[in-house]
Amino acid sequence: MDFQTLERSGSRAVIARQGAELTALRLGGTDFLWDAGPLWPRQAPLLFPVVGALAGDTLRHRGTAYPMPKHGFARDRAFAWQGGSETTCALELRDDDRTREAYPFPFVLTIHYALEPAALRMELGLHNPGPEPLPASLGLHPAFRWPLAPGVPKAAHRLVFEADEPSPLRRIDASGLLTPTLHPTPIQGRVLPLQEGLFVEDALLFLEPRGRRVRFEAPGTPSLVLTWEGFPHLGVWTKPDPAPAFLCIEPWEGYASPAGWDGEISDKPGSFLVAPGDTRQWSLTIGVEG
């Protein structure tokens, strides 16, 4: 089975076996997920075992170099179904000969989807069955339609955060690495007015957001509310050429390698370590209001 459809009270979510990726989301009668058009052929990829790029697309561990693509390999791997119901499903990815060519660690990555009447909840877990600490990063990359409804100007949309967000943002360079420059935040108190020009220099990276909740809204449309746990960073991105038709709101734990850094993956800024036998957990809830 390549896809599983969850349905409840007029809401609907479709999850693909490939990448454990969310490929459709209808909440309250409105379709919110980007349709994977030619501008960007993905919809909600899972980022693992890295978020962003490593220097030279190379992972280093104990003196050996391994090829590692930007955002890792999980989004391009077929997960195994682990059961489900009309409103839930679970998938799992384990290490194998192919993953160990890029990432020489045993791991068990799980994702569980649960559809509620007006929300979709995602719960993720990373277990370390191996004998040494497991270095990793993990992120979500859902793309939502922008505008939220036909005929609504893009410039009428905004993100509303749960707290004031005065911290500066970070950017990435042409090779995808984190630059050292701090940029003044475009968030005005709790509000980020959205416009296409924000993304000419790629994503907005908020590495120290105060809150764990954001509302994507515009006058006269239903609002999307994202609430997450366990993810300390947030990326906001779209592809600005030609004109963006989607907005990605991306909770992460981890980020691209800083420019000029090319060390061991266990020492990489932004990476975390899972102790042998331990499991680390995260969640994201996407809900609709109005």
Least confident range of 35-44, 88-97, 240-249, 269-278: 240-249
CA distance 126 to 28: 31
CB-CB contact of 177 with 70 (8 Å): no
Mean pLDDT over residues 264-288, rounded? 98
CB-CB contact of 126 with 273 (8 Å): no
CB-CB contact of 4 with 84 (8 Å): yes
Mean pLDDT over residues 87-91, rounded? 98
Domain ranges for the chain: 3-289
Structure confidence at residue 75 (pLDDT): 98
Residue 240: pLDDT band by 50, 70, 90 thresholds? confident
Q: What mean pLDDT is reported for the chain?
A: 96
Residue 196: pLDDT band by 50, 70, 90 thresholds? confident
CB-CB contact of 72 with 50 (8 Å): yes
CA distance 86 to 89: 8
CA distance 191 to 159: 6
Whether the predicted pLDDT of 290 surpasses 80: no
Residue 40: which of 235, 248, 234 has the closest Cα? 248
For 3-289, CATH gives 2.70.98.10
Structure confidence at residue 204 (pLDDT): 97
Structure confidence at residue 244 (pLDDT): 78
Output the CA–CA distances (angstroms, integers) from residue 55 to 50, 58, 135, 173, 256, in the order listed.
12, 6, 16, 11, 9
Report helix, strand or coil for 138: strand
Report helix, strand or coil for 114: strand
Whether the predicted pLDDT of 272 surpasses 90: yes
CA distance 203 to 201: 7
* Single pTM value for the model: 0.96
Whether the predicted pLDDT of 243 surpasses 80: no
Whether the predicted pLDDT of 90 surpasses 80: yes
Percent residues over pLDDT 90 in the chain = 93
- For the chain, the distance separating the N- and C-terminal CA atoms, rounded to the nearest angstrom, is 35
Structure confidence at residue 262 (pLDDT): 96
Interval 98-118: pLDDT, tens: 999 999 999 999 999 999 999
Interval 134-160: pLDDT, tens: 999 999 999 999 999 999 999 999 999
